[in-house]
Amino acid sequence: MIRFLVILGVVLAAVPKVRAQEPPPAQWLRLDPLPAEMKLTPRESFDGVPPRFVLLTDGSVFVGGRREVLRGFLDKAEMQAISTRLDVAMKSVGRASPPTLVMGQGPGEGEGSAIFRFSVLLGAPLQVVVMGKVPPVGAPALPPLPDFIRRLAGFRHPSLKPWDPAEYTMVVREKTLTGGCRAAKGLPSLAQALNGEVAVPEKLTRGFPTGADMTQVCEGPKRYTVVFRPLIPGGR
């Protein structure tokens, strides 16, 4: 009997405890730059530019530049402060949020092409295209929603550090560049991925530039340009 109880205790100890799985962190706020916001060289493509700002529900925050991405973490108080400012910004425009938003108040600051796409991805979804240009520091105060977006566009935090993505989004275009051509060995079929987006693991991008820089790759008789954009987790 004692031996049976000992064996039963060992078996029960080996059974993993069943716990309710928490959903993975999701993207909450996102600010994507648009082509007019950044000047690129002929050997760069906006397809590879990472988001300017992404905030996840667990407090993870990602800030992108031309190629690189920084990652940081916000505490509950900081998350609450952002939520409060967002509420104020949304109340300032009412229920019918504008599909486009003019940034800037001075002469010429509200003109030009689209520079950002601002998205609220949870709760009541919202997407706003931002026109004009971001006013410099010291410019006249902006209304709540433009001011909120300006803060995200220039977001800084002491926890931000260089981040190495586990995955990248591969974007393929049928285009010819001057110079040599790399073999497509190891990459997914470029012909099948043409004009689409394919998630690839980081190991497949080794030896290739990432971000805005294009690489010319040959597959059979055709030449393609390939970029690898850092893939921010939490997307749906």
Please tell me the predicted confidence (pLDDT) of residue 74: 97
Tens of pLDDT, residues 168-192: 999 999 988 998 899 888 999 999 9
In the chain, domain spans: 27-161, 165-230
Q: Which residue has the tokens 């996840």?
A: 56
- Give the Cα separation of 188 and 46 in Å (integer): 21
30, 52 Cβ separation under 8 angstroms: no
User: Which residues fall within 8 angstroms of residue 94, CB to CB, at 6 or more apart?
Assistant: none
Distance CA 152, CA 53 (A): 6
> CB neighbours of 20 closer than 8 A, spacing ≥ 6?
none
Mean pLDDT by 10 residues, the chain (236 residues): 39 45 88 91 94 97 95 97 94 74 56 84 88 78 88 95 96 92 91 92 94 94 95 85
> For residue 100, what pLDDT is reported?
80
Predicted local confidence at residue 18, as pLDDT:
44
